[in-house]
Amino acid sequence: QVQLVESGGGLVQPGGSLRLSCAASGFTFSRYSMRWYRQAPGKERELVARISSTSISTNYADSVKGRVTISRDNAKKTVYLQMNSLKPEDTAVYYCNAAASWGAREPAFGSWGQGTQVTVSS
């Protein structure tokens, strides 16, 4: 059974930092690209960052480029999202999911974790 458990969110002031974690189980983590998504109230879920199975390739949405770093630890089956210089518009619930290939259009798994809430406010 696939499980994705996100953590690390919270309330932070503009300009602050957070490190999100996603612990995965139930699939061969090291074989999948991993992605972070976010969903703000009233908006569709959007792709924020992705990382290849071996960490060789990363890619970021324009809205977070230069402020966010995705990384992974295959031994721990965990993917991370380091977020710096946070802005109010980064406020959203953040989710992770896998992708069967780098260019896959859809997540590998239909089930999502509970997400972790990030709120950026003064």
pLDDT digits (tens, 9 = 90+) for 35-92: 999 999 999 999 999 999 999 999 999 999 999 999 999 999 999 999 999 999 999 9
For the beta sheet containing 3-7, the strands, ordered from the edge strand earlier in sequence to the opposite edge, are 3-7, 18-25, 78-83, 68-73
pLDDT of residue 46: 96
Choice between 101 and 55, residue whose per-residue pLDDT is larger:
55
The vertex-26 CA angle with 24 and 31, nearest 5°, equals 70
Q: Which of 63, 93, 66, 99 is nearest to 82 (CA)?
A: 66
Distance CA 75, CA 67 (A): 26
What is the rounded average pLDDT of the residues 24-45?
A: 96
Q: Which of 118, 107, 109 is nearest to 39 (CA)?
A: 118
Choice between 100 and 57, residue whose per-residue pLDDT is larger:
57
* 3-state secondary structure at position 71: strand
pLDDT of residue 111: 85
pLDDT of residue 121: 97
pLDDT at 110 over 90: no
